[in-house]
Amino acid sequence: MVIPNTKTNKILAILMAFLLFSIPVFSIKTGEVQAASPGLNLNVKSAILVEATTGKILYKYNENQAFPPASMTKMMTEYLVLEAIKNHKISWDQVIPADEYAAFIAKAGGSSSAVLLAVGEKHTVKELYEAMAIYSANDATVLLAEAVAGSEANFVKAMNDKAKLFGMTQSHFATSTGFPVNELGQYAPPATGGDNMMSARDCAIMAKRLITDYPEVLQTTSIPKKMFRVSPRPFRMDNWNWMLPGLVSYYQGVDGLKTGHTNEAKYCFTGTAQRGNVRLITVVMGTDTFLSRFGETRKLLDYGFSTYTMQPLAHKGQVVKGSEQATVQNGQDTVVNAVAGKDVVYPVKRGEEQAYKLKGTLKTVDAPVQKGQPLGTINVVGLNGQPDDFLTPADQQTAGGTLVAQDSVDKGSWIRLAFRSFTHFIGSLFSGLGHMIKSWI
């Protein structure tokens, strides 16, 4: 019979434990998503997947770290151009001649994408906008920035102001194009505190605001190919987003939004796609090759569309339990019925459709109250009563919609209000006497 060596067994046990606990550590590859639950194995610096209508985050990795966004910067430029059109600051048919800055950046190598504008060449705002949104043309972009704000420096200030308003806390803009400042030579804008930087979360915030406030942008970003000029120097614009129909990395439902590439940023892409009533926003930053950004985006979209569904939680006009009536001051009635102001449709994982509940928050309102007037908010309560993760606090507050007045309530007459105050006083008096007598007994 062999007697076990206790000391030897302890040493073997320690070695086995070390090996077991070391395996996960040694298997991690730099730049891949390991902590996120779906295990998509993305080879990126950062990434995020968001449901577009609510801003609910479905997947994230290193989403708050800022990186150079390259031409994804142009999403903010597109927003400000569309805003200027809406406010009649510029018009689609306004003609803009190319200046020396545009001609310079058109010929800049490396990071430049351009429609090769020559000094004095004239194009409409519409033509330049399409060149920016379809082909990411830097020369067209700087002309639009100058048309909107008078100079690129002024435009950049407006970009940073808007980013702050949108809650993009990890963003800084230095140019309208995303073109690196150190490659602009004499045309570099005044010192702005660093080069262009954005986080994946901020890119998603920007994309959500762009397609929500100006959904018409997708009519342009979804164009695979278009001629910029026919003569005398024909130029065809091929969309850099190769996930569009007819292109190499086609993915059903993709209709935007913005690619980006510089040597420092590597290959980036903010995408959006819709299938049925589900619209997703994706961001991948720092992928290795032109095509890999689309491959990593495909993983995110596959996960989003296969895992989540838009679940109806309430219909317009439906009462939310626990928030049936709001208090009305100085009205003919003292309360008004509260109902959902719109259909509440919310992204949930398949199989978890029954896990989400609604909770209303009402405020006291003064008469008169109009039918449909907001009375409060509807909050979506998630698994175990915990809120979900959203792009911004504002998204979380609005994801469930609002409670509105089911009917109108007119302001009460002075006689009615005086009588109501008197009866309330008498009621309070007798209630107080009752409590006093009860205490004596």
User: How far apart (Å, rounded) are the C-alpha atoms in residues 71 and 180?
Assistant: 10
Element housing 292 (H / E): helix 292-307
- Quote the distance between the C-alpha of residue 329 and its chain's center: 38
Only one residue has tokens 């008169």, namely: 368
Task: Say if strands 308-314 and 357-362 run parallel, antiparallel, or are unpaired.
Answer: unpaired
Name the active-site residue from 45, 74, 208, 258: 74
| DSSP result, 157-174 | HHHHHHHHHHT-TT-B-S
Both tokens of residue 310? 């838009």
Residue 46 annotated to the active site: no
Name the active-site residue from 112, 113, 136, 171: 136
User: How far apart (Å, rounded) are the C-alpha atoms in residues 202 and 200?
Assistant: 5
User: How far apart (Å, rounded) are the C-alpha atoms in residues 309 and 312?
Assistant: 10
Q: Cis bond leading into 232, ω under 30°?
A: yes
Both tokens of residue 141? 């972009």
- Quote the distance between the C-alpha of residue 33 and its chain's center: 21
Closest by Cα among 197, 128, 133, 190 to 160: 197
Name the active-site residue from 71, 176, 199, 323: 71
Within 65-151, where are the H helices?
74-86, 100-107, 125-135, 138-149
User: How far apart (Å, rounded) are the C-alpha atoms in residues 134 and 153?
Assistant: 24
Both tokens of residue 325? 């009536």
Both tokens of residue 154? 């002024």
Amino acid code (one letter) for 23? I
Residue 71 annotated to the active site: yes
Phi and psi of 180, rounded to 5°?
A: -60, 135
> SS3 helix, strand, coil % of the chain, rounded to 5?
35, 25, 40
User: How far apart (Å, rounded) are the C-alpha atoms in residues 311 and 357?
Assistant: 11
Residue 74 annotated to the active site: yes
Q: Cis bond leading into 368, ω under 30°?
A: yes
Phi and psi of 278, rounded to 5°?
A: -110, 120
Looking at the annotation, which residues are catalytic? 71, 74, 136
